[in-house]
Structure 1
Amino acid sequence: MLVQLQYLRAIAALMVVYFHAILQLRNVQPDALLNGALFGKSGVDLFFVLSGFVMWITTADKAIGAREFYTRRIVRIVPLYWALSLLAAFVAFVVPSILKSTVFDLPHVVATLLFLPWINPADPAGYMIAPVIVPGWTLNYEMYFYLLFGALLGLTKAVRPYALAGLLLAIFLLCRLLPQDVTAARFYGDSVIFEFVLGVLIGKVYLDGRRLGGAVAWPLIAVAGAVMVYNDWMEWDVPRLFSVGVPAAIVVGCVALVDFSRKPVVGWLNLLGDASFSLYLSHIFVLAGARMIYGKLPFDWMRNEALFVVFCLVASSVAAVLLHLLFEKPLDRFLRSRRQAPAQLSPVRPA
């Protein structure tokens, strides 16, 4: 992957961690000044656009069928997600007070493992559509994108992006026509689904060889990034696609189209980009631990809101890198080798 996109993945994941850290801060210190600086969920929109971009540039010029595409995505997503989801379900069953946003409910656990939109039983309003690990709601969308994207791989490269956009639009309109108390209709009828298409179109522009100079790209990144974060903070009552999705697409597009080949690699940020999936899924456990520790600190000076948020960011990052290096990466390597083994062990024809 382009190194600048690794950086962006790391930043997007840290934005989500920051957002959830402020939510935890509101629980442990309701009068904290930082409680008003609640933003960061737009990191998710960066991820959606990035996903579409990466899916396009890794498949557009390659002969890959739907089965191979689905297998790769399952191997990449499912093991870590299932492992942490089952861990969260176990914790919710044994010690329900630890994870405030998770209640053990068997149908909910099954829906989580199958990537089906489901009302989270921990929501007293009965409205929130989220799996056992709440941030995993984005993976329900991702698997939906992959399902449709893979089904269209048989089409020509010229037609495929527009077929994907048309298919998503048709399903979106159908969902909007259905009663909005139907969970699936409300979930798949959200405008956020088109952020994936924006990423695909950016990928098309990239493979067409178009690039941006720094004098144009960096001011656009700064302005679009500021608009994205501001709209994230303000939570305007407008479709997410327009409030943060379009600015996120501008950020991703400009970052992707700038040449980073002559710039030194920022090692720690590149590593955190590699570990961004682990960071995104595992940080809820670290933040739950931070919340519990905060209430037992022996000295008042240690109960500092800024220190709490910084600790959440640093501890979540360290835990994610360890999880990536010790679990996610070795397991991914093992599963890939198992898929390649049959071809390597096939008998050699006699001369």
Structure 2
Amino acid sequence: MTAVAGPGGGRGTLYGIQYLRAVAALAVVFFHAAERSGHAFAIGAAGVDVFFVISGFIMWVIAERRPVTPGRFLKERMRRIVPVYWLATGVMVAGALAGLFPNLVLTAGHVAASLFFVPARSPSSGEIWPVLVQGWTLNYEMFFYAAFAACLFLPARLRLGVIAAAFGLLVAVGLAVSSDSPLLATYTRPIILEFVAGMLIGRLWLAGRVPGRAVALALVGLGLAGFAAIGILRLPFDEWTCGPLACLLVYGTAALETRGGVARLKVPALLGDASYSIYLWHTFAISVVAKLGAMAGAPPSLVLVGSAAAGIAAGLCAWHFVERPLLRGWVGNPRPASASASPRRSAGRPS
């Protein structure tokens, strides 16, 4: 659960942010389910943009309200992200060795790069993907965490400006230089600016610089309408279009948290808690159901709904039986204190 200190200094659960995490995770699930069933829901990949903005927001708020050393920050992030990801990657490797994934080509170098969040080209496709393809977003998350931890050595007043300047410079390099290097191609993409935008929203939120409820609702509505227009009209999109829309959603939702709060809804809150597990595990279930549906000659619409439901169920099971017990064992609390990574184009296809 996203529990952080609010503008007034008290701690509380940001249910609105939880619901955004749930929406982002479900968008990616339906994106992949649509791909496997012959439908089109490309805009679902933009759930990644929402996750990245949320990540910047939560990291900033937590660090400001609960000062932490760089080492402790990285340790907490590693505990939150790494074990479940390594387990999911291990399942992929075991499945490939058992012949369950005939198109997956394994090399020791690529597996090692995947486990340690180093961008590398997949021997299966040539794309900059890890063994568990959707894990490409975690390469960005871990890069952001490393940069954020480094900024914790600085005075608080300098942190946002320094990381914004550093990420802005990386993007400028990417725009000016064309390179086949996986590291350069990954960490100079404009998508990294979404973390900075989330941090800025966190700073504004903690300072109480948020609009009233009516404007906040309008911001959320505009963000949703923008994503809907892209999806319905099948317009091209990338981080330059989806990043600002994600910012509208997060800023508007954060403002609603301040202007009267957001009520707790059990199911959306649960999906928000489980969003990381849903993101990591949903493709396994979708692949199985899609293959069974094709073998049975099921209607594409039924395959879409069935595979999406299976993906969500798989994620919830992983949350209940794997992720939550791990978190309990480490922190004595089954509810994570911060937002985690998540998903984007295709089975994680960066564009």
Query: TM-score, normalising length from structure 2?
Result: 0.85
Matching residue of 2:236: 236
Partner Cα separation in structure 1 for residue 63 and residue 235 of structure 2: 35
Distance 1:291 1:64, change over 3 A: same
Residue 24 of structure 2: which of 1, 6, 12 is its match? 12
> Given that residues 223 and 248 in structure 2 are in contact (C-alpha distance below 8 angstroms), is that contact kept between their aligned partners in structure 1?
yes
Deviations 1:197-226 (A, max 9, x none): 000000001100133333222222122222
Aligned length: 318
Partner Cα separation in structure 1 for residue 143 and residue 199 of structure 2: 15
Alpha-carbon distance, 1:317 to partner: 1.6
List gaps (5 residues or longer) in structure 2.
Answer: 3-13, 333-351
List gaps (5 residues or longer) in structure 1.
Answer: 27-34, 338-351
1:62 and 2:66 are equivalent in the alignment: yes
Alpha-carbon distance, 1:175 to partner: 4.5
1:43-62 matches, cutoff 5 A: 43-62=47-66
Q: Provide the secondary structure at the position in 1 that maps to 2:314.
A: helix
1:81 and 2:85 are equivalent in the alignment: yes
Q: Provide the secondary structure at the position in 2 that maps to 1:41.
A: helix
> Given that residues 42 and 229 in structure 1 are in contact (C-alpha distance below 8 angstroms), is that contact kept between their aligned partners in structure 2?
no
Deviations 1:115-165 (A, max 9, x none): 001112221xx2x21111111110000000000000011222222111110
Alpha-carbon distance, 1:258 to partner: 0.5
Partner Cα separation in structure 1 for residue 329 and residue 48 of structure 2: 29
> Given that residues 15 and 262 in structure 2 are in contact (C-alpha distance below 8 angstroms), is that contact kept between their aligned partners in structure 1?
no
Residue identity matched to 2:28: V
1:245 and 2:243 are equivalent in the alignment: yes
Alpha-carbon distance, 1:322 to partner: 1.5
Residue identity matched to 1:104: L
1:315 and 2:310 are equivalent in the alignment: yes
Q: Provide the secondary structure at the position in 2 that maps to 1:104.
A: coil
Deviations 1:313-335 (A, max 9, x none): 22222221111111111112223
Distance 1:246 1:48, change over 3 A: same
Distance 1:62 1:97, change over 3 A: closer
Partner Cα separation in structure 2 for residue 312 and residue 6 of structure 1: 24
Partner Cα separation in structure 1 for residue 78 and residue 41 of structure 2: 36
Using CA pairs below 8 Å that are at least 6 residues apart, which structure has the higher relative contact order? 2
Matching residue of 2:267: 268
Alpha-carbon distance, 1:103 to partner: 2.8
1:164-183 matches, cutoff 5 A: 164-183=163-182
Distance 1:153 1:221, change over 3 A: same
Partner Cα separation in structure 1 for residue 308 and residue 114 of structure 2: 26
Residue identity matched to 1:244: C
Matching residue of 1:226: 225
Residue identity matched to 2:281: S
> Given that residues 176 and 186 in structure 1 are in contact (C-alpha distance below 8 angstroms), is that contact kept between their aligned partners in structure 2?
no
Residue 96 of structure 2: which of 92, 96, 99 is its match? 92
Q: Provide the secondary structure at the position in 1 that maps to 2:44.
A: coil
Percent of aligned pairs with the same residue? 33
Q: Provide the secondary structure at the position in 1 that maps to 2:157.
A: coil
- Structure ID, larger Rg: 1
> Given that residues 93 and 103 in structure 1 are in contact (C-alpha distance below 8 angstroms), is that contact kept between their aligned partners in structure 2?
no
Partner Cα separation in structure 2 for residue 172 and residue 211 of structure 1: 28
Residue identity matched to 1:18: F
Matching residue of 2:207: 208
> Given that residues 217 and 252 in structure 2 are in contact (C-alpha distance below 8 angstroms), is that contact kept between their aligned partners in structure 1?
yes
> Given that residues 16 and 41 in structure 1 are in contact (C-alpha distance below 8 angstroms), is that contact kept between their aligned partners in structure 2?
yes
Deviations 1:223-280 (A, max 9, x none): 222213444674537xx33211111111111011103756542101100100000000
Alpha-carbon distance, 1:97 to partner: 3.6
Runs of 4+ in structure 1 deviating by more than 4 angstroms, as ranges, are 175-179, 260-263
> Given that residues 231 and 243 in structure 1 are in contact (C-alpha distance below 8 angstroms), is that contact kept between their aligned partners in structure 2?
no
Partner Cα separation in structure 1 for residue 59 and residue 29 of structure 2: 25
Partner Cα separation in structure 1 for residue 59 and residue 285 of structure 2: 30
Partner Cα separation in structure 2 for residue 137 and residue 253 of structure 1: 26
